[in-house]
Amino acid sequence: MVNAVRPQLNQAPPSLWRDILHDLQDVFDLHSVCASFSLYVAKHLSCQALVALADSDEPSYSLWISNPDGSTNQERWLANEAGIDNLLASDHPAYLDKLDIPASEVMSSQLWLQARRRLIIAPIVQREQSRAPHPPVLLALVDPPENSDIDLELIGQISNLLRVFLGRAALREATDHRIAESAIVSEISQALGATVSIQEIYQLLAGPIRQTLNVETLSMGLVEVATGDILFPGELMRPASAHSPSVRLKRGQGIAGWVAEHKEPVIINNAYSDRRFFLDIDRSSGFRTQSMICIPLIVGGRTIGVLQAINRLSGEFTGHDLQLIQNLGGPVAAALENANLRAELVAESQRIEVLFEHISEGLVTINRGGIISKVNNAFSTLLGQDEANLIGSPIDEHLHTQRGELDSLVTRVFDSEGEMLLAADLLRPDGRVMPVIVSGVAIENKAGNAEEAVLVFSDVTQVHEVERMRDDLFDTIAQELRTPLATILMYSRLLQEGKARQPDKAARFLGVIERESDRLQRMIRQVLDIAKMDAHEILRGPAAIELNPIIEDILPPFAERAVQKGLLFRQRIAPDLPPVIGNTEAIELILENLLDNAVKFTPSGNVQVNIRHEEGNVIIEISDEGIGIPPQSMRHLFKRFYRTQTAIERGVAGTGLGLYMVNEILKNYNGRISVQSTLGEGSVFTVQLPIAPL
């Protein structure tokens, strides 16, 4: 304790010790201690006194220069100009005479410029490790009177007392600093619990850690689960790399990679001498890494990131600095994990929300009382009501069926052990009947109680329509097959029974058999084509296809059919058509279906084929003067199994698959088809096929 210090020095004025002890008994600041000693030593020893304190943050000295009259000047000298560094090498007080010092040293030293002839100095330097080290201090008497009682023993005792007060002040400052650090760690740890994003975590850390550790920058790297790489986003490297792009280190690369892989912290005070250091980042960014502390951020045995404090602005990193940043490692890692989990939860919630809103089925959630809590657009559309009218109301009020199929729906879904499945005909407010399939499942909470359920309403109108069209197709196919088969069978029997003995009659019978066989073959081929297309055997990868050879093979049979039917068949084909994107079988199917329809649906008049190329496409126009297409049928024309009522009423054979296949093929190869038609006057089908790139 300072109060125990009782210097045994007869020649020193007792008032010197009394004033120092009285003035400094409650002082715990290094600067105040130095200033007081300078003042009282000058006053009581009747000579100029100087106390120099080395600055911690930069190469300079803070000085207090006092005179016997009580005046004190505070100055700052640069270390390379002060002339003090070499004097601190000694452990004992010493007399120094200006005449014994080389002139060059005197001229470059501010300390010697302060003195006329002599100095008595006492270096105060801690040579051993201390819990609270203080910077080096020099006590100097400038030109002490030659006949005074001031000697080295007196200066030694004064310096010993100064050492005690400096140590006490340093200990208090260190204690206060550690208390402040603990408070910062505690505040950050508590605040981290409320952060919701990685950017917030970094912003919370950056300022306090940079200030407490006195470092240039702080960076945070995140380990990618899939690759093990460490990604340093630009926004997690401020301020040194505020405008830099993100930095990626491969697994185990650089000091950060080593720390992440080995799960061990490191202190490095000379980065360029460490073989693990990855130079490329400094080279590309212009930033120079001198020193760093890097710690792993670990959760559940997994390294999820690293935290780096880079470039200490004064001195070197110490074990205490490492301990400070490690105290934050656990809370930071936990906060990062929570932020990642929250981000995943938000993303999953958004995905579910998008799915909920955009799924074609109607979705509704209800509680055990049957009150609607959430609906999607499809459910609102299904019932023909606004969402606002549905939320908060009992679901039973909105579900009306012809046969009461959905009565007690709420009870049934909550009583079902698994998924509930019902079929019903729903009555809409507009009077329409809509067939639906209702599935539902109760959702259990953590306690195992089901307090909420999800119901899915699937509109099966289109399914029923497809089933009807399929049944119609099968009926049509059966009927269409029956007609040519019956004709073939009848004429075959007539020939077998000898009812066509005349050559011309036999030829006529054989012609009928041949014609009906062709008709049967076309129907079977179309059914096979749709099966092949469903199996992706026709829609193969695109290639460059020459059109002219295909057209030369396809057109003659249809021209002959048209002529036999009494139609005028015209064609205008551009020579040397450029290759198009597709494959041969698909192009043949397009032409055959469109030409077959043109001939089939034209009782009399013209069928015309016009093929040319323009603006990156080959244009195929097939026009006829046939029965035309009703306006109400135009939007359904390319649907599977669809046949116009006009065709059905006129008894024109068909499956409703031809135009569907044409449209699907063109979509696969980025082509297009359009149609213009006037009922009773004819139709024009226009196909665009993209020209293959050279």
Tell me: do 663 and 691 sit in the same domain. yes
Closest to 61 measured CA to CA, from 81, 42, 41: 81
Give the residue from 150, 177, 204 where a domain finishes. 177
Vertex 570 angle, CA 568 and 576, to 5°: 165
Amino acid found at 300: G
List, as one string, the DSSP characters of 80-144.
Answer: HHH--GGGGG-SS-EEEEGGGS-HHHHHT-HHHHH-SSEEEEEEE---S--SS----EEEEEES-
CB 230 within 8 A of CB 248: yes
Least confident of 216-230, 236-250, 446-460, 581-595: 236-250
Q: What is the pLDDT of residue 284?
A: 81
CB 689 within 8 A of CB 625: no
Amino acid found at 415: D
Q: Above 80 in pLDDT, residue 150?
A: yes
Q: Above 80 in pLDDT, residue 135?
A: yes
User: Domain residues for 376?
Assistant: 359-459
Tell me: do 9 and 138 sit in the same domain. yes
Q: Is residue 478 in some structural domain?
A: no
Instruction: Classify residue 352 by burial, with Cβ atoms within 10 Å: 0-12, 13-18, 19+.
Output: exposed
Q: Is residue 691 in some structural domain?
A: yes
The residue among 31 and 190 whose pLDDT is bigger is 31
CATH number at residue 453: 3.30.450.20
- DSSP secondary structure letter of residue 692: P
What ranges make up the beta strands (E) of 379-486?
A: 420-427, 433-444, 450-459
Whole-angstrom distance, CA of residue 254 vs CA of residue 271: 11
Tell me: do 338 and 364 sit in the same domain. no
Instruction: Quote the tokens at residue 183.
Output: 């408070």
Q: Is residue 497 in some structural domain?
A: no
Instruction: Name the average pLDDT for the chain.
Output: 84
Mean pLDDT of 144-156: 85
**Model confidence at 240, in pLDDT bands (50, 70, 90)?**
very low
Q: Is residue 92 in some structural domain?
A: yes
Q: What is the pLDDT of residue 84?
A: 92
Tell me: do 690 and 546 sit in the same domain. yes
CATH number at residue 614: 3.30.565.10
Q: How many residues does the chain have?
A: 694
Tell me: do 549 and 622 sit in the same domain. yes
CB 257 within 8 A of CB 240: no
Least confident of 141-150, 180-189, 227-236, 575-584: 180-189
Tell me: do 239 and 302 sit in the same domain. yes
Amino acid found at 233: P
Tell me: do 35 and 106 sit in the same domain. yes
**Model confidence at 65, in pLDDT bands (50, 70, 90)?**
very high
Q: Is residue 688 in some structural domain?
A: yes
Amino acid found at 261: E
Vertex 306 angle, CA 305 and 307, to 5°: 135
Q: Above 70 in pLDDT, residue 243?
A: no
Tell me: do 553 and 635 sit in the same domain. yes
Q: Is residue 486 in some structural domain?
A: no
Tell me: do 580 and 634 sit in the same domain. yes
Q: What is the pLDDT of residue 10?
A: 42
Q: Above 80 in pLDDT, residue 260?
A: yes
Whole-angstrom distance, CA of residue 322 vs CA of residue 293: 7
What global pTM score does this model have? 0.50
Give the residue from 403, 435, 459 where a domain finishes. 459
* Number of domains comprising the chain: 4
Q: Is residue 493 in some structural domain?
A: no
Tell me: do 386 and 287 sit in the same domain. no
Mean pLDDT of 242-254: 81
Q: What is the pLDDT of residue 7?
A: 40
Strand partners, 364: 375, 455
Tell me: do 35 and 131 sit in the same domain. yes
Whole-angstrom distance, CA of residue 474 vs CA of residue 126: 104
- φ and ψ of 100, to 5 deg: -90, -5
Q: What is the pLDDT of residue 203?
A: 81
Please give the share of the chain, as a percent, with pLDDT higher than 70. Answer: 89
Whole-angstrom distance, CA of residue 224 vs CA of residue 233: 12
**Model confidence at 241, in pLDDT bands (50, 70, 90)?**
very low
Q: What is the pLDDT of residue 367?
A: 92
Whole-angstrom distance, CA of residue 344 vs CA of residue 333: 16
The H or E element that residue 691 is part of is none
Give the residue from 324, 347, 370 where a domain finishes. 347
Residues 635-681: tens digit of each pLDDT: 888 887 777 776 766 666 666 778 888 998 888 888 999 999 999 99
Residues 489-548: tens digit of each pLDDT: 887 887 787 777 788 877 887 877 777 777 677 667 766 766 666 656 555 567 888 999
CATH number at residue 136: 3.30.450.40
Vertex 529 angle, CA 527 and 530, to 5°: 70
- φ and ψ of 568, to 5 deg: -95, 115
Tell me: do 299 and 405 sit in the same domain. no
Q: What is the pLDDT of residue 337?
A: 86
